[in-house]
Amino acid sequence: TPPEHIRNFCIIAHIDHGKSTLADRMLQLTGVVEERAMRAQYLDRMDIERERGITIKAQNVRLPWRLGDQDHVLHLIDTPGHVDFTYEVSRALEACEGAILLVDAAQGIEAQTLANLYLALEKDLHIIPVLNKIDLPAADPDKYSAELANIIGCQPSDVLRVSAKTGEGVSDLIDEVVRQVPAPVGDGDGPARALIFDSVYDTYRGVVTYIRVVDGKISPRERIKMMSTGATHELLEVGIISPEPKATKGLGVGEVGYLITGVKDVRQSKVGDTVTSERRGAPEPLAGYREPQPMVFSGLYPMDGSDYPDLREALDKLRLNDAALSYEPETSVALGFGFRCGFLGLLHLEITRDRLEREFGLELISTAPNVVYQVFLEDGTELVVTNPSDWPTGGKIAEVHEPISKVTVIAPSEFIGAIMELCQGKRGQLLGMDYLSEDRVELRYQLPLAEIIFDFFDSLKSRTRGYASLDYEESGEQASELVKVDILLQGEAVDAFSAIVHKDSAYSYGNRMATRLRELIPRQQFEVPIQAAIGSRIIARETIRAIRKDVLAKCYGGDISRKRKLLEKQKEGKKRMKTVGRVEVPQEAFVAALSTE
Ligand code: GTP
């Protein structure tokens, strides 16, 4: 297809505003999927995506569309909607010339959508504002058209209105995509350059890499080169998705499709990288490639120590499909053998944990998440700490740097006070505030990333009765007064409970953990002190009093079978115990103490 008849676009929308439903309607209207083959959310392929209702991996599809008497080829590029995947969103946007900004007509724009809109505007994408769900009785299209017009600087009458559910307005919307989105431009005769905007591991075919050709042509049976690493691969297949994969004779300027090389690991096919041909390589890659950087770390341990090899195998498998996941073995005195894992953010952590438990049947304990700290010692050495147990001991720390982020919250204006109070309590600094409409406000804060990953989102939701939406992006680092708090049982530090916190929260963390553990750990034959300490300084203390654990005393001699039963029961209980020094701690205590509530 000549580039002038190609349109590449994506849909920017908040979770649940109807992106998948709209994509489904487009598949139907363009005749790509027959009515009876249609299943809800055709493009969300992974089960877990369907259950959680979020799109993790970008999918793309080629749609034929006739406007007047001209045939066109449209490529819909599906973008992940969540904050943790901003980098993937930004690469997917890079593959488009236009974006549909899809907003629920009963809810208005949300923080993540706004953030993605700004990303799209930065990349000079043409924006088509659209209100969805106009069939809902609660829809207020006049109010939200005005809001959208105000944000992107157009007329309220430019905002299209559709119902992805009934199909109303969707055909007109596709016409507008053809009319408004610019055609791709590129050098058709130059050396090949294609942008990788997604890659997924497929059990049967190996890694499937999604590309958008910018210059030249990608043809099957030639060797290609990944420009970030210089690695070369033989091309086994080049094709398009419509909506199932179909091999083609090649992809030209502006075209979107996939390629298969037989590699088995997505890390050899990195999102953001440039593909060129080996024989006639491009001198310069496309701009903006970045290695995925883990921002949040947590220890993952099998509940049952004998599952450790299974956990390793499961992680190896997940990594085939997730270039951003990193892990290395670690041991904890309290939890045994496990892995220190790095994630892009909290959601990435949760999804990974969820998949490990669901798809691989593992039961896991995860330690409290932490960010990456840069520690400068007085003797001039610099440490990168991703694990509280690597925190230097002794008083030789000169300075500690922690990552900070820019946070955007959108909420009804009645919650301004509650949100400000929350952000202030988390060491936040107000950067600005704007009214989006009469009763909705956007607040911008700078907050340490460590404060956000802990329980910020949950607190925000509960303080705003679920009405606030949140987005954050990394924005450098700052020097902070941070300390490591240890939790000691009978004088012995339990590594799984150590945390790096700001010095002003050290006491409350220590106190909270000590109180919680006093309730969770059963009485033992001896007294057990629980202490929180910074180095050798004790900052909180609780005590579990001793009991004489004579269970048989209840049996008044007589009934021998009852006695045996009790003893059996006690033994059963022991199996689920971990021992810290002489103290027996039930497995559940670790799980409960480490949960953020
Ligand atoms: P993610 O893929 O999870 O980001 O969500 P999404 O934005 O794709 O939302 P999805 O298409 O899953 O729609 C969310 C819910 O809204 C579903 O229950 C849809 O049935 C419903 N929905 C989508 N479009 C419309 C619409 O036009 N009208 C009505 N009434 N409901 C809609």
Of 182-191, 420-429, 488-497, least confident by mean pLDDT is 488-497
Determine if ligand 1 sits within 6 Å of the CB of residue 100. Answer: no
pLDDT over threshold 70, residue 43: no
SS3 for 219-284, per residue?
CCCCEEEECCCCCEEECCEEEEECCCEEECCCECCCCEEEEECCCCCHHHCCCCCEEEECCCCCCC
pLDDT over threshold 70, residue 425: yes
Q: Prior bond to 243 cis, omega within 30?
A: yes
Average pLDDT over residues 244-263: 91
Atom of ligand 1 nearest to the CA of 136: 30
What is the rounded CA–CA span in Å between residue 63 and residue 203?
27
* pLDDT band per the 50, 70, 90 thresholds, residue 562: low
Nearest one of 474, 446, 352, 475 to 83, comparing CA atoms = 474
Determine if ligand 1 sits within 6 Å of the CB of residue 292. Answer: no
Which tokens sit at 78? 């599906």
Please report the pLDDT score of residue 570 as a whole number: 54
Higher pLDDT, 142 or 359: 142
Determine if ligand 1 sits within 6 Å of the CB of residue 141. Answer: no
Please report the pLDDT score of residue 57 as a whole number: 40
pLDDT tens digits along 339-351: 999 998 877 888 8
pLDDT tens digits along 567-584: 565 555 555 667 777 788
Which tokens sit at 222? 């030639």
| Cα 154 to ligand 1 centre (Å) | 25
Q: Which residues are annotated as a binding site?
A: 16-21, 132-135
Please report the pLDDT score of residue 359 as a whole number: 87
Query: CA–CA distance from 257 to each of 47, 64, 181, 429, 574 (Å)?
Result: 23, 14, 19, 44, 57
Q: Which H or E element spans position 331?
A: strand 326-332
Question: Which of 16, 47, 144, 173 to probe ligand 1 with, by most ligand atoms within 8 A of CB?
Answer: 16
Atom of ligand 1 nearest to the CA of 168: 27
Determine if ligand 1 sits within 6 Å of the CB of residue 81. Answer: yes
pLDDT tens digits along 439-472: 899 999 999 999 988 778 888 988 988 888 888 8
Please report the pLDDT score of residue 190 as a whole number: 93
Higher pLDDT, 87 or 18: 18
* pLDDT band per the 50, 70, 90 thresholds, residue 55: very low
Determine if ligand 1 sits within 6 Å of the CB of residue 173. Answer: no
pLDDT tens digits along 468-488: 888 888 889 999 999 999 999
Atom of ligand 1 nearest to the CA of 52: 3
What is the rounded CA–CA span in Å between residue 235 and residue 223?
6
Residue located nearest, by CA, to atom 10 of ligand 1: 18
Determine if ligand 1 sits within 6 Å of the CB of residue 355. Answer: no
Residue located nearest, by CA, to atom 29 of ligand 1: 133
3-state secondary structure of 80: coil
Residue 447 is which amino acid?
L
pLDDT tens digits along 178-197: 999 999 999 999 999 999 98
pLDDT tens digits along 364-401: 988 888 999 999 999 888 999 988 988 998 668 999 99
| Cα 120 to ligand 1 centre (Å) | 22
Please report the pLDDT score of residue 312 as a whole number: 94
Determine if ligand 1 sits within 6 Å of the CB of residue 82. Answer: no
pLDDT over threshold 90, residue 241: no
Determine if ligand 1 sits within 6 Å of the CB of residue 54. Answer: yes
What is the rounded CA–CA span in Å between residue 190 and residue 210?
21
pLDDT over threshold 70, residue 71: yes
pLDDT over threshold 80, residue 406: yes
* Percentage of the residues of the chain whose pLDDT score is greater than 70: 89
Average pLDDT over residues 146-174: 95
Determine if ligand 1 sits within 6 Å of the CB of residue 15. Answer: yes
| Cα 419 to ligand 1 centre (Å) | 28
Please report the pLDDT score of residue 565 as a whole number: 61
Please report the pLDDT score of residue 54 as a whole number: 39
CB within 8 Å of 374: residues ≥ 6 apart: 382, 383, 384, 385, 400, 401, 402, 477
Average pLDDT over residues 426-441: 92
